[in-house]
Amino acid sequence: MHVAVRQWQVLGRKGFAQNLQYSVSHMVNTIASVVFGLIYIYVWQAVMPESGFGQYTSSIIVQYICVNQTIAWFTQFGMKIRHRIAESVRSGRIAVELARPMDFFCYRMAFEYGAQLYSLVFRGLPVGIGLALLTESYVPGSAMTWVWAAASLAIGGYIGISLGYLVGISSFWTNEIRTLSWVLFTLELMLGGISMPLEVLPHSLELVAKCSPFAHLAYYPVQIYLELSGPAPILRGLAWAAALTVVARQVTACARRRLEVQGG
């Protein structure tokens, strides 16, 4: 167990450090994200009725978007795991990676978690600070709210990386993962709540979205942070994380057998 934790720490640090060389491009992305966040805010303020809808007032919508634009850099934006895996398959490096004395899923998960943590610190937080200075921010007063929100965000990051991993590992059977990548991106936007609260959707679709793993990428962490929800969604997030881990390991085992049959 101690060795496994050490491996996760080393890979996480490497994933974090790899992104340090791209600081200039990240600065440009940060400015662009702030601009897009402001556009979202102004659009919502223009179309919302004065009374708001449900529990969402104009002020809460602004705060919802600000937090969403911040945490999305950890759970969705900048995630490259699917492209890294696909490139390894195309180049043949995947044979070496699967031969390493470490579980391939854990190896990829730890490395990507470090990379996404970098995105949160150096890309997400500057976006959040920029939007907070230009609009209005919300800071929870309860320490437990911070704890539950951080736990929900950590689970959301795990789910996001797991979904990306499944798209990437599909490259063992397909020549191109672009279509699956766009499908995943569309589902994340529509069912994840990044661009709008899920309550805006038709009731039946809202229920589907809230029960899906995508809601844990953005919707539930923001709900908990804004104290619009308690910590109950964390248990559902853990269940989805466990289920995706089982699926990812099963698919990886099938991919390994396919590689060995092909003689790679």
pLDDT tens for 170-211 read 999 987 899 999 999 999 988 998 878 898 888 899 999 999
> Under a CB-based contact definition with an 8 Å cutoff, are residues 194 and 188 in contact?
yes
Q: Which amino acid is at 63?
A: Q
Q: Read off the pLDDT of residues 57-99 as tens digits, 9 standing for 90 and up.
A: 888 888 888 899 889 889 988 788 898 899 988 888 888 888 8
User: What confidence score (pLDDT) does residue 79 get?
Assistant: 84
Domain ranges of the chain: 2-262
Pick from 31, 165, 32, 189: which is nearest to 89 by CA?
165
> Under a CB-based contact definition with an 8 Å cutoff, are residues 64 and 192 in contact?
no
Burial readout 35-61 (b: 16 or more C-beta within 10 A, e: otherwise): eebbebbeebeeeeeeeeeeebeeebb
**Residue 8 predicted with pLDDT over 60:** no
pTM, rounded to two decimals: 0.86
* DSSP for 116-137, written as a single string: HHHHIIIIIHHHHHHHHHHS--
**Residue 34 predicted with pLDDT over 70:** yes
**Residue 17 predicted with pLDDT over 80:** no
Query: H helices within 19-100, ranges in order?
Result: 23-47, 58-75, 81-91, 94-99
Average pLDDT over residues 122-133: 84
Average pLDDT over residues 6-33: 61
**Residue 157 predicted with pLDDT over 50:** yes
Q: What is the C-alpha separation between 113 and 83, in angstroms, rounded?
A: 15
> Under a CB-based contact definition with an 8 Å cutoff, are residues 133 and 40 in contact?
no
Q: Which two tokens stand for residue 50?
A: 């004065």
- Label residue 162 by pLDDT band (50, 70, 90): very high
Please state, in angstroms and as integers, the Cα–Cα distance from residue 101 to each residue in 35, 107, 115, 247, following that order: 45, 10, 22, 21
Average pLDDT over residues 135-163: 92
Burial class (CB in 10 A: 0-12, 13-18, 19+), 187: middle
Average pLDDT over residues 38-42: 80
Q: Which amino acid is at 75?
A: T
Pick from 79, 55, 70: which is nearest to 197 by CA?
55
Q: What is the C-alpha separation between 110 and 190, in angstroms, rounded?
A: 27
Pick from 178, 9, 168, 182: which is nearest to 97 by CA?
168
Residue 53 φ/ψ, nearest 5 degrees: -140, 130
Q: Read off the pLDDT of residues 209-254 as tens digits, 9 standing for 90 and up.
A: 999 999 999 999 999 999 999 999 999 999 999 999 999 999 999 9
Task: Look over the chain and give the mean of its residue pLDDT values, rounded to a whole number.
Answer: 84
